[in-house]
Copies of this chain bind each other. A is one copy, B any other.
Amino acid sequence: MAVNLSAPRAADLFPVPGVRIGVAEAGVRKANRKDLSVVLIDEGASVAGVFTQNRFCAAPVQLCRDHLDRVAASGGIRAMVINTGNANAGTGEDGLVRARRTCVALAQKLDIAPEQVLPFSTGVIMEPLPVERIEAGLPAAIADAKPDHWLRAAEGIMTTDTIAKAFSRRVTIGGVQVTVTGISKGAGMIRPNMATMLGFMATDATVDAGVMKQLALELAEGSFNRATVDGDTSTNDSFVVIATNKAKHGAITSLDSENGKALKSAMLEVARLLAQAIVRDGEGATKFITVRVEGGKTAAECRLVAYAIAHSPLVKTAFFASDPNLGRILAAVGYAGIADLDQTRIELHLDDVHVATGGGRNPSYREEDGQRVMKQSEITVRVGLGRGKAEDTVWTCDFSHDYVSINADYRS
């Protein structure tokens, strides 16, 4: 059961002019599952992506990077192909060959170059991609392609997710209404480092190709890179942003312009909802926890502390148990890696409850107040470091029996 997250409704997901989506059952790993999606993009779009920092990155990630590097020469990205059931990671040279074959197959059917296709895979690592099944499924996926199929795609990229993740916003840019729609999937192996497991966003806004990469980076940094479920950075993290350039406003050439800010703000809202949805639907999650660290010398050290708290199995199991065993949070602050941290300046709040002050228990703190907050399904942990003015935030979930069950049974 995802935490305060309901299934998206097709009616709430606005089509993005210039993008069509089709989904099929290709039997990649199991039969009768929507496991193959194609995203077809009209000519003239600007596309950028950010990808996992895992050095063991999957074959499709390597191809995506390569194709995006050559995007200007190739005539632009025109399609994406996404399979679940197999991550095509840890598969060596053979994995690259198979990923290329899926691009070639889709390109032939669309009469474009293979370099105009971005491939994505998610699922089990170190098993050969059944490329024949993907090739065989492509015609059905292409035939299914429609502008209003965002919900189908959100469902088509799910693995251990229990709920599809998709959000839309509309915003006025230069007097013209534009749409932003995005989807994501997550659940486990989630500690995005520059991107998430899989996230796709599209807008019909007109964005200069020169600022697309920066836009994608800033969106990832403010959303997916603030989410963690289990601290495992995936081999396949990919986040792609598409601007179809269909809207008739002046092209956005700077994110600091008025139009740039308006678009980024709308896109960031969708990106944050998608990233938070991944945490809400984290494997076994029963609580959504915002870890906010303030008073640091730099945002980086605040993030270090926030991740130490968010990854501590002891903190996460205490949240699962609704047990205000809050010393575990202080312990995580202490081992986060700030060498000259002064423990006598640490403050800890749980929502409105002031738990610790000056590094020790707040004299007026009462266990029943901590207990009250711990029972909530949404909790904010606020740590003050007392060293400066920087701050940062990370979202995470608790650690439950179901996480162990899901991951002990994942392949069976």
Does A55 count as interface, using CB distance less than 8 angstroms? yes
Q: Which one of B53, B234, B411 lies within 8 Å of A331 (CB-CB)?
A: B234
Query: In chain B, what residue has the closest Cβ to A96?
Result: B360
Among A209-217, A246-254, A273-281, A317-325, the one that faces the other chain is A317-325
Given contacts A233-B335, A314-B232, A332-B232, contact A320 B408 (CB under 8 A): yes
Inter-chain contacts of A222 with B (CB < 8 A): none
Inter-chain contacts of A361 with B (CB < 8 A): 90-92, 126-128
Query: In chain B, what residue has the closest Cβ to A193?
Result: B335
Q: How far does the Cβ of A368 sit from chain B's closest Cβ, in whole Å?
A: 14
Among A19-27, A150-158, A199-207, A395-403, the one that faces the other chain is A395-403
Among A35-43, A140-148, A161-169, A341-349, the one that faces the other chain is A341-349
Main DSSP-derived SS at the A contact region: loop
Inter-chain contacts of A346 with B (CB < 8 A): 56
- How far apart are the CA atoms of A401 and B317 in the complex, in Å? 11
Inter-chain contacts of A338 with B (CB < 8 A): 55
Does A333 count as interface, using CB distance less than 8 angstroms? yes
Does A85 count as interface, using CB distance less than 8 angstroms? no
Q: How far does the Cβ of A349 sit from chain B's closest Cβ, in whole Å?
A: 14
Query: In chain B, what residue has the closest Cβ to A236?
Result: B331
Cβ–Cβ contact B53 & A335, under 8 A: yes
Does A112 count as interface, using CB distance less than 8 angstroms? no
Q: How far does the Cβ of A378 sit from chain B's closest Cβ, in whole Å?
A: 19
Inter-chain contacts of A82 with B (CB < 8 A): none
- For residues 297 through 354 of chain A, which have their beta carbon under 8 Å from a beta carbon of chain B? 311-314, 317-318, 320-321, 323, 325-328, 330-335, 338-339, 341-344, 346
Does A376 count as interface, using CB distance less than 8 angstroms? no
Q: How far does the Cβ of A96 sit from chain B's closest Cβ, in whole Å?
A: 10
Does A15 count as interface, using CB distance less than 8 angstroms? no
Contact mask A82-96 → B, CB, 8 Å, 1/0? 000001011111110
Cβ–Cβ contact A125 & B327, under 8 A: yes
Cβ–Cβ contact A230 & B313, under 8 A: yes
Q: How far does the Cβ of A212 sit from chain B's closest Cβ, in whole Å?
A: 25
Contact mask A278-291 → B, CB, 8 Å, 1/0? 00000000000000
Inter-chain contacts of A230 with B (CB < 8 A): 312-314
Cβ–Cβ contact B409 & A327, under 8 A: no
The 3 closest A-B pairs by CB, nearest first: A125-B327, A92-B360, A56-B334
8 CB contacts below 8 A, A to B, read A56-B346, A57-B343, A90-B356, A91-B360, A125-B331, A126-B326, A235-B330, A318-B407
